[in-house]
Structure 1
Amino acid sequence: QLVSRRYERGAMLVTSNRAIGEWGSVFGDPVVATAILDRLLHHSHVITIRGESYRLREKRRSGLLQKAAPAPHNTTSTSEGVRSS
């Protein structure tokens, strides 16, 4: 209801740690997610930010959280560094 009321009436800023394709499972209904996304993405600018969150980085620095193992993705180590294939 909020998205429908704000649609083409004012700006909205939405942040999420989930990909747009996952929103159907987030809302529990792919039809509802599609309707929301249709309104949100019309006239929008999508900015994708990659990397570690500031909160997690600070928790790791303070020792409250251990660094997770990196996700494997076809990399090979060389004398110059890491190369993705």
Structure 2
Amino acid sequence: GDRVLATAILDRVLHHAITINIRGHSYRLKEKLKAGLVRLEETATTT
């Protein structure tokens, strides 16, 4: 299915790549928090 195909594509693309795991909130989320458009409790389930 789609999951198998997506895994194969990512495996092919990332074979010789260096991956970086970035932790923490994104700049977009920080701006939304500042503007009061989203609450931190709401983001806990989505991130």
What's the TM-score, normalizing by structure 2?
0.68
Structure 2 unaligned blocks of 5 or more = none
Q: Which has the higher helix share?
A: 2
Q: Which has the higher strand share?
A: 1
Structure 1 unaligned blocks of 5 or more = 1-27, 72-85
Task: Note the aligned Cα RMSD (angstroms).
Answer: 2.2
Q: Greater relative contact order (Cα 8 A, min sep 6): structure 1 or 2?
A: 1
What's the TM-score, normalizing by structure 1?
0.43
Matched, 1:41 2:14: yes
The runs of at least 4 aligned residues of structure 1 exceeding 4 Å deviation read: none
| Pairs aligned (count) | 44
Identity %: 60
